[in-house]
Structure 1
Amino acid sequence: MLREEAGKTVRLALPIIFGELAQMALHIIDTAMVGRVGYKELAAAALVMSVMNIPFVIGIGITISVSQMVSMAHGRRDGQMVSHYLYNGFWLCAIAAVFISLGLELGKGILFHLGQDPEVARLAVPFMQLMGWSVIPMILFMALKQFTDGLEFTRTAMLLSVLALPLNVFINWLLIFGNLGFPRLELVGAGWGTLITRTLIFVIMGLVILTHRTFRKYVAIRSRQWKLKLLTIKELLHIGVPSGLQIGMEAGAFAVSGILIGTIGAVEQAAHQIALSCASFTFMVSMGLAQGGSIRTSNAYGRGDRIRITAIGKSTLIVALLYGCFCAVGFVVLRNQLPYAFNDEQPVVEMASMLLFFAAIFQISDSTQAIGAGLLRGVKDVKIPTILIAIAYWVVGIPVGCLLAFTFKLGASGIWLGFIIGLTLSSVFLSARFLKIAGKPVKEMQEVTG
């Protein structure tokens, strides 16, 4: 049964994974193309991503509530509530996106107060403005994506994400380097490329949902179900806020660490960005698996099928373990070659190669902790996991990393050792909690997670 459930989860997750990889590829291509301009521009891009990652991923976490609630309603075959969650979830995400973008715009001056290289901070400001406004179309796209994913139609968003890849590369080529008569905007050009691409995929995704026959029935009943309700918003926030905090605390740990590494030097920050980009790329597969497992678990939870919940969870954790081992080997083997895809300055390459070795060590725990968090969201268990993640990263991981980096003078390596400890604790905490909860009858699960 475990093999069968693993196969079903992987099939559902594959389009999500390809979509996530495409989105991450956009970021990596931006990083690689900016890196060709200069290492200070690369460090500026890393600084901006470090600052905006926390609020951005909290917004993305809120969109996850849409797929969870849609999946549960779909499991109960309640099309009315599916439509209702789509409408309320979209407007909740829209409000969150606007607040995040305004916060980033108003707070851009913080870039000059983080102990960074002054030139790096100066280069980062206009890039942060553009990236901040691009949060709005991206979160709205993700809200619609979570709706289609919750119905287990995962190919729609994947196709748009993949098609966006060459478009973004082309716009970058025009605006970063000033080709075909366009102005050479360098880092700012990468910001415009991201904003334009994200806006287009959101608009197209919206048109698909409004017009395609697969989703038309949920739009057709809008007169009865497309009404904002405080109770529904609270339901979505019950899952969305803790989910956003969970993802935000992990991303925040990496973001804060990036800022701390930036105080050491621009070379270290550029190397950190290279290693983190590679680790983030492999993590997207884990995120896709986590979403696939979460959607299937949520669907089974809506039907009250405890046996299926357990089988889906165990099989997905096994897949995550195998995938983590594969990635660890790949990073060890390719750690000296991968940095050259981003930058060819020898000090940056050597530092990035060393950090990639640390990234290899935490691949297994990074994959399994993502799956554990996703499975727990599938059974609406979000409060306790949020506390466990906070302890793993912020009580243990970050402080230990700072101690090793600055007291024991290990520099960037010390920060990355802190990552390893935090991710390992998170993996153990979350996996153990899911296995404990999955052994209970559904009514007891609801009591524990409510």
Structure 2
Amino acid sequence: MHGLGLLRNEAGKTLKLAGPIIFGELAQMALSLIDTAMVGAVSYKQLAAAALVMSVVNIPFVLGIGMTMSVSQLVAMAHGRNDAQRVSHYLYNGFLLCAFTALIIVVGLELGKDILFHLKQDPEVAVMAVPFLRIISLSLIPMLLFMTLKQFTDGLEYTRTAMTLSLVALPVNAFLNWLLIFGNWGFPRMELVGAAWGTLITRTLMFVVLAYLVFNHKTFRRYVMARRNHWKFSWQTIRELLRIGIPSSLQAGMEVGVFAVSAILVGTIGAIEQAAHQIAMNCAAFTFMVSMGLAQGGAIRVSNAYGRHDWYKILAIGKSSMITALIYGVLCFLVFIFFNGHLPRLFNDNTAVVALASYLLIFAAIFQISDATQAVGVGLLRGAKDVKIPTLLVGVAYWVIGLPVGYILAFHFDMRAPGIWTGLIIGLGLVSVFLTIRFLRLKRNIKIAQ
């Protein structure tokens, strides 16, 4: 099989693997959208408070998720070599590492919660945000443990397990929100704090159920049965996980960090601008979940081929995945352009908020293509253990160029929120170009760049 037929075949295999991951990612994003929509129905200031907290929490949360990615990559490599004992060993040490990471993140957020009062936000918004932050921070522990087990099952190419749980969690979270935010069925009306409790309960249930399945389902029995000899703490294995996990965390953290800082900067302009920014960003983040799922599917397949030293398969998977990402980005661009006036009304009915959010969605449409291709590029290179140079390139594009340009446009050229979004477009575009060039060099050399 050659040329277009080969690429079509590889794209189909990647989409088959990535499909459940994509639905799982969308379900996770939908949990956030449900919270946003239901909190927004209470008041736009509570929506702004939720946006402020998520801007602060998302940076350490994504750092934690980046650490869990090392589990799927190493599990997929061992699985490619048909080494069940090594898979089991990576599961145990990866779980310990990610559990410790989750605890450090939560303690750090608790100790640093007063930062909410020093970000030049609306004072009323900051006061509302503190109790929401404390509960959401606790929910990161079960969520990161769930993500660790999800990376394990995904690395074995059993991607439907976590997807199913994520989908089931949607109505559970919505029902808990309905009870706790609005005080139905005799429950106290907790509004924003009620959304936080709903998230904590839902995430805990997701982790407990997935842990039960991993320990008891016949699909994973061979890996759990190996625990007597292979569930041993190993500094060498921890270092192996960290060599992938730390750069992956930094990559994800720098990207999410730029968006988080952007939200904080927009919040200094006003609560209406912050609420509109949050709505537009939620829409963009929702479409990005598909790109993330595609990136993870491609990364797992690349890691599996890497375990077999099948370089030509790696290149075929990568090229077909990049083309798929490009097509998807174009489709998202068209959706945002045609529906920019309608999407914000799903979250809020304040006329000023809806008008600004509709305008910001045009900016979001522009970076859909680069957002999709850069996400897949990061995943493919990570699957090939090429993480150090891409991390540096991501840092330069976002933090040296994109964010400073956005700040200058917003506050020195008085473009306000659209100026920040212009900076995001520039940063995402540069990352996409940098990583595409690096992958093409990888393709031309027919080897893995270290």
- Which TM-score bucket, shorter chain as reference? over 0.9
Q: Which amino acid aligns with 1:66?
A: V
Cα distance in 1 for residues equivalent to 2:194 and 2:222: 41
Query: In the alignment, what sits opposite 1:292?
Result: 297
Match of 1:70 among 70, 75, 84: 75
Cα distance in 2 for residues equivalent to 1:295 and 1:322: 21
- Matches of residues 277-288 of structure 1 in structure 2 within 5 Å? 277-288=282-293
Match of 2:138 among 126, 133, 140: 133
Q: Which amino acid aligns with 1:408?
A: F
Q: Which amino acid aligns with 2:321?
A: T
Tell me, yes or no, if structure 1 residue 366 matches structure 2 residue 371. yes
Match of 1:53 among 54, 58, 61: 58
Deviation of 1:272 (Å): 0.3
TM-score by length of 1: 0.98
Cα distance in 1 for residues equivalent to 2:131 and 2:445: 52
Cα distance in 2 for residues equivalent to 1:39 and 1:13: 36
TM-score by length of 2: 0.98
CA contact (8 A) 2:258 2:403 kept: yes
Tell me, yes or no, if structure 1 residue 435 matches structure 2 residue 435. no
1:236-263 per-position Cα deviation (integer Å, ceiling 9, x unaligned)? 0000010011011000000000000000
Tell me, yes or no, if structure 1 residue 207 matches structure 2 residue 206. no
Tell me, yes or no, if structure 1 residue 236 matches structure 2 residue 241. yes
Cα distance in 2 for residues equivalent to 1:46 and 1:287: 21
Cα distance in 1 for residues equivalent to 2:50 and 2:192: 8
Query: In the alignment, what sits opposite 1:424?
Result: 429
Deviation of 1:437 (Å): 1.4
Other structure's SS at 1:159 match: helix
Cα distance in 2 for residues equivalent to 1:270 and 1:242: 32
Tell me, yes or no, if structure 1 residue 347 matches structure 2 residue 352. yes
Q: Which amino acid aligns with 2:120?
A: G
Deviation of 1:441 (Å): 4.0
- Matches of residues 290-329 of structure 1 in structure 2 within 5 Å? 290-329=295-334
Other structure's SS at 1:184 match: coil
Query: In the alignment, what sits opposite 1:397?
Result: 402
Match of 2:419 among 414, 423, 431: 414
Cα distance in 2 for residues equivalent to 1:434 and 1:75: 22
Query: In the alignment, what sits opposite 2:3?
Result: none
Tell me, yes or no, if structure 1 residue 87 matches structure 2 residue 89. no
Cα distance in 2 for residues equivalent to 1:50 and 1:133: 16
Cα distance in 2 for residues equivalent to 1:375 and 1:435: 12
Cα distance in 1 for residues equivalent to 2:133 and 2:392: 30
CA contact (8 A) 2:86 2:230 kept: yes
CA contact (8 A) 2:244 2:385 kept: yes
Other structure's SS at 1:427 match: helix
Cα distance in 2 for residues equivalent to 1:390 and 1:180: 49
CA contact (8 A) 1:310 1:439 kept: no
Query: In the alignment, what sits opposite 1:379?
Result: 384
Tell me, yes or no, if structure 1 residue 184 matches structure 2 residue 194. no
Count residues with an aligned counterpart.
Answer: 445
Match of 1:257 among 257, 262, 273: 262
Q: Which amino acid aligns with 2:270?
A: G
CA contact (8 A) 2:312 2:446 kept: no
Cα distance in 2 for residues equivalent to 1:110 and 1:333: 39
CA contact (8 A) 2:182 2:190 kept: yes
Cα distance in 1 for residues equivalent to 2:283 and 2:253: 19
Larger mean Cα displacement after TM superposition, 43-52 or 428-437: 428-437
Query: In the alignment, what sits opposite 2:175?
Result: 170
Cα distance in 1 for residues equivalent to 2:202 and 2:437: 40
CA contact (8 A) 1:306 1:438 kept: no
Cα distance in 1 for residues equivalent to 2:443 and 2:112: 43
Cα distance in 2 for residues equivalent to 1:271 and 1:78: 50
Q: Give unmatched runs, 5+ long, in structure 2.
A: 1-5
Following superposition, which runs of at least 4 residues in structure 1 exceed 2 angstroms of deviation?
438-442
Cα distance in 2 for residues equivalent to 1:221 and 1:288: 30
- Matches of residues 17-56 of structure 1 in structure 2 within 5 Å? 17-56=22-61
Deviation of 1:341 (Å): 0.4
CA contact (8 A) 1:290 1:374 kept: yes
Other structure's SS at 1:180 match: helix
1:316-341 per-position Cα deviation (integer Å, ceiling 9, x unaligned)? 00000000000000001000000000
Match of 2:105 among 100, 105, 113: 100
CA contact (8 A) 2:71 2:148 kept: yes
Tell me, yes or no, if structure 1 residue 217 matches structure 2 residue 222. yes
Cα distance in 1 for residues equivalent to 2:444 and 2:20: 30
Cα distance in 2 for residues equivalent to 1:341 and 1:78: 48
Q: Which amino acid aligns with 2:214?
A: I
Cα distance in 2 for residues equivalent to 1:431 and 1:37: 44
- Report the RMSD for the aligned CA atoms in angstroms: 0.6
Other structure's SS at 1:111 match: helix
CA contact (8 A) 2:326 2:372 kept: yes
Other structure's SS at 1:344 match: coil
1:344-395 per-position Cα deviation (integer Å, ceiling 9, x unaligned)? 0000000000000000000000000000000000100000000000001000
Percent identical: 67
Deviation of 1:223 (Å): 0.8
Deviation of 1:155 (Å): 0.1
